[in-house]
């Protein structure tokens, strides 16, 4: 769809229009992205003559500045609850999560103005835009993206804490993420878009698209997006002059080897929004195309998305409702996924021929793409994923109030939680962490655990008044299960929320415990037998006095039950609880 040209409206509007040219438009070479002060100043100026536009500030980001949400409402209703009551839908668009990929920032500035001045706001959809998400990075302008073709200067990927905010949605280490989650759970969009710039292979397309991986997406939503919404977006973009291809993640060195659909786990924006049954897209413009083309392509994609959402607003609302109801009753949840290399689709791909030549840096062979040799060929598209791990939900999870960050995030995400009225002893299932892998260096501020092995056991556990009970009959079941099950790829356990249970608190002095252990073995024939059996199975144990002493200790009543015990309990039966 063509950009809405603001020029030929009326004299008065022309004056406004002049005043409201974006810094990108004002630049002679269209190779400039607005800085933070220009972005906020632009919207503050735009809001005055336009009652259908309102700006909201959420929280403070890590740089101490609030996150600005731009809301466009044709009916001038800006109360999110009332908007839902009036059966309107909500679209949320995020910009500048990676401030060095700023097309969305500049395209949104033009689009908001054009929609207002052309009086083309949708009737059924309220539009919410985050002006710039990584404010901290946006303020830190430079030239840090060495491979990118403009703009002249731009923000830095890391935020004030040097976090990549597009890995921060589940762990929420940044105030930016907390503000985003507040926005998402307040406005409750049905559709979400996150605007980016790609790196990787060279090819002919300006615009590529990531949609929520279809096997991971709620099946009701996946059916609609894969059959109707995504094909319609591809069609409209082709018509606008910015034909798209799925995001190019090569199987091997170049796209000729086939491309693989991107799996956005919950640490990513669209992985997190997918847990909320929100239809989600990521645009990835190509880094080597001119900046103005990338901005215009992003603009056109947003226009197309708004148009189709407006057309299908009723249907999308119904599908979201159905998806929420389905998830409330869903019993099995996938915790991890892998590409199915046995199955693939094909797509027609417009690339450039690739080859190797001698590097002038190393004298060794290097890859290059020959832009004088464009091609159109059919390539493989590996877009099927299979779950590698699934879990059955319990009736409820019981979370001790001590784990306050979990409670804080659950509250922020509108998870319904109850609290025990009294100290209560419950028979429930708990996990012991048998094994896990941890890298020796941190990733995004954490030592992310993986390959978690568990054993489940039933125990009677004492909880305190005020501890939390979370029933798994909620539309947000995916968020609940995927964060609380320790084997989830982006679970709270994986992100180190529960690491204190991985350390022992007590111990013993060998020379003292020798006499106590001898007494314990004398008084407990079962323990004696257990030790003898283990010695037969394990010759190293049989040879080590220290290991045998430790074996007795770990199997004695003195040994701490909480060591390696995952603190969130799984209630498997629907017993009556005294809760509020």
- CA atoms within 13 Å, Cβ hemisphere of 520: 19
DSSP string, 470-514: EES-STTHHHHHHHHSTTSTT-TTTTTTTGGGGS------HHHHH
Nearest distance in Å: CB 196, Zn ion: 4
Asked whether the beta carbons of 377 and 347 are under 8 A apart, the reply is no
User: Residue 443's beta-bridge partner residues?
Assistant: 446
Nearer to Zn ion, 196 or 267 (CB): 196
- The least distance separating Zn ion from the CB of residue 472, rounded to whole angstroms, comes to 33
Q: Which is nearer to Zn ion, 72 or 287 (CB)?
A: 287
- Which stretch, 32-40, 195-203, 265-273, 547-555, contacts Zn ion (CB under 5 A)? 195-203
Nearest to Zn ion of 62, 101 (CB atom): 101
Give CA–CA dist 117/420, Å, rounded. 54
- The CA–CA distances, whole Å, from 372 to 218, 248, 359 equal 43, 20, 20
214: helix, coil or strand?
coil
Which of residues 282 and 409 has its CB atom nearest to Zn ion in the complex? 282
Q: How far is the CB of 133 from Zn ion (least distance, A)?
A: 11
DSSP per-residue string spanning 373-413 = EEEEEEEEEE--EEEEEEEE--SEEEE-TT-HHHHHHHHHT
| Smallest gap from residue 187 Cβ to Zn ion (A) | 23
From the list 5-13, 142-150, 191-199, 495-503, the region that binds Zn ion by CB under 5 A is 191-199
Q: Which 150-179 positions form the footprint of Zn ion (CB under 5 A)?
A: none
Neighbours of 442 (CB within 10 A): 11
DSSP tag of 105: H
Q: Which one of residues 88, 89, 171, 196 is an interface residue with Zn ion (CB under 5 A)?
A: 196
Closest contact distance (angstroms) between CB of 264 and Zn ion is: 12
Segment interacting with Zn ion (CB under 5 A) among 94-102, 132-140, 176-184, 508-516 = 94-102
Report the half-sphere exposure of 509 (CA within 13 A, side-chain side). 2
Q: Which stretch binds Zn ion (CB under 5 A): 189-197, 393-401, 493-501, 526-534?
A: 189-197
- In order of 81, 128, 311, 314, 411, the CA distances from 90 in angstroms are 11, 7, 13, 12, 21
- Based on the shown chain and the rule CB under 5 A, indicate whether residue 145 belongs to the binding site for Zn ion: no
To the nearest whole angstrom, how small is the minimum distance from the Cβ of residue 158 to Zn ion? 12
Least Å from the CB of residue 409 to Zn ion: 24
Determine contact, residues 399/468, Cβ cutoff 8 Å. yes
CB closer to Zn ion out of 35 and 166: 166
Measured from the CB of residue 53, what is the shortest distance to Zn ion in angstroms? 27
Nearer of residues 298 and 413 to Zn ion, judged by Cβ: 298
Residue whose token pair is 């929520």: 212
The residue range among 101-109, 203-211, 290-298, 482-490 that interacts with Zn ion, by the rule CB under 5 A, is 101-109
Shortest CB 98 distance to Zn ion, Å: 4
- In the complex, least distance from residue 210 CB atom to Zn ion, rounded to whole angstroms: 10
Residue closer to Zn ion (CB basis): 166 or 477: 166
Query: Is there binding between residue 98 and Zn ion (CB under 5 A)?
Result: yes
Residues of span 427-456 touching Zn ion by CB under 5 A: none
Nearer to Zn ion, 104 or 567 (CB): 104
Which of residues 134 and 277 has its CB atom nearest to Zn ion in the complex? 134
103 binds Zn ion per the rule CB under 5 A: no
- Longest CA–CA span in the chain (Å) reads 100
Cα first-last separation, the chain:
53
Among 154, 155, 185, 156, residue whose Cα is nearest residue 169: 185
For residue 93, what are its two tokens? 């668009």
Q: Closest approach of Cβ 287 to Zn ion, in Å?
A: 10
Which listed residue (101, 383, 482, 485) binds Zn ion by CB under 5 A? 101
| Pick 264 or 312: Cβ nearer Zn ion | 264
Buried b (16+ CB within 10 A) or exposed e, 513-531: beeebeebbeebeebeeeb
Query: Which stretch in 56-64, 95-103, 470-478, 563-571 sits in contact with Zn ion by CB under 5 A?
Result: 95-103
- 354 and 256 Cβ atoms separated by less than 8 Å: yes
Site size for Zn ion (CB under 5 A): 3
Of residues 245-304, those binding Zn ion (CB under 5 A): none
Output 98 or 320, the one with its CB closest to Zn ion. 98
3-state helix, strand and coil shares in percent for the chain, rounded to the nearest 5: 35, 25, 40
* Contacting positions for Zn ion (CB under 5 A): 98, 101, 196
């Amino acid at each position: 769809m063509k950009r809405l040209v603001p020029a030929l409206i009326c004299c008065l509007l022309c004056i406004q229009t002049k005043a409201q040219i974006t810094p990108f438009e004002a630049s002679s070479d269209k190779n400039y992205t607005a800085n933070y002060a220009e972005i906020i100043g632009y919207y503050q100026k735009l809001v005055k003559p336009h009652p259908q536009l309102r700006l909201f500030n959420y929280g403070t980001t890590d740089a101490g500045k609030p996150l600005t949400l731009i809301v466009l409402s044709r009916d001038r209703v800006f109360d999110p609850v009332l908007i839902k009551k009036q059966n309107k839908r909500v679209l949320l668009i995020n910009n500048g999560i990676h401030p060095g990929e700023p097309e969305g920032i500049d395209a949104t500035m033009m689009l908001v103005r054009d929609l207002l001045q052309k009086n083309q706001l949708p009737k059924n959809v309220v539009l919410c835009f985050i002006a710039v998400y990584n404010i901290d990075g946006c303020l830190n302008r430079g030239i840090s993206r060495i491979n990118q073709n403009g703009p002249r200067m731009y923000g830095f990927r890391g935020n004030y804490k040097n976090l990549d905010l597009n890995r921060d949605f589940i762990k929420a280490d940044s105030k930016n993420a907390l503000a985003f989650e507040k926005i998402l759970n307040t406005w409750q969009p049905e559709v979400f878009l996150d605007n980016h710039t790609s790196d990787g292979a060279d090819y002919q397309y300006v615009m590529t698209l990531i949609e929520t991986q279809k096997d991971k997406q709620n099946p009701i939503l996946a059916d609609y997006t894969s059959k109707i919404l995504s094909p319609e977006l591809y069609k409209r973009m082709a018509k606008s002059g910015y034909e798209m291809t799925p995001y190019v993640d090569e199987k091997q060195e170049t796209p000729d080897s086939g491309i693989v659909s991107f799996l956005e786990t919950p640490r990513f924006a669209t992985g997190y929004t997918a847990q909320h049954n929100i239809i989600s897209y990521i645009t990835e413009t190509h880094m080597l195309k001119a900046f103005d083309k990338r901005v215009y392509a992003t603009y056109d994609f947003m226009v197309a998305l708004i148009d189709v959402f407006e057309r299908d607003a009723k249907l999308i609302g119904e599908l979201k409702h159905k998806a929420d109801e389905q998830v409330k009753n869903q019993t099995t949840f996938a915790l991890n996924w892998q590409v199915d290399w046995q199955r693939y689709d094909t797509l027609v791909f417009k690339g450039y021929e690739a080859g190797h030549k001698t590097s002038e840096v190393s004298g060794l062979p290097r890859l290059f793409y020959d832009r004088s040799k464009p091609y159109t060929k059919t390539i493989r598209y590996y877009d099927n994923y299979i779950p590698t791990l699934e879990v059955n939900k319990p009736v409820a999870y019981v979370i001790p109030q001590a784990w306050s960050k979990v409670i804080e995030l659950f509250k922020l995400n509108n998870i319904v939680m109850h609290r025990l009225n009294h100290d209560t002893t419950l028979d429930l299932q708990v996990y012991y962490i048998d094994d896990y892998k941890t890298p020796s260096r941190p990733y995004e501020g954490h030592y992310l655990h993986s390959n978690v092995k568990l054993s489940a056991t039933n125990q009677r556990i004492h909880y305190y008044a005020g501890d939390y009970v979370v029933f798994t009959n909620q539309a947000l079941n995916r968020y609940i299960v995927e964060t609380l099950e320790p084997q989830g790829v982006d679970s709270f356990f994986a992100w180190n929320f529960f690491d204190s249970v991985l350390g022992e608190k007590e111990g013993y002095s060998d020379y003292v415990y020798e006499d106590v252990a001898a007494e314990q073995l004398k008084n407990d024939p079962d323990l004696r037998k257990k030790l003898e059996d283990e010695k037969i199975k394990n010759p190293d144990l049989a040879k080590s006095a220290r290991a045998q002493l430790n074996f007795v200790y770990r199997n004695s009543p003195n040994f701490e039950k909480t060591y390696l015990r995952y603190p969130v309990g799984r209630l498997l039966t629907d017993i009556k609880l005294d809760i509020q």
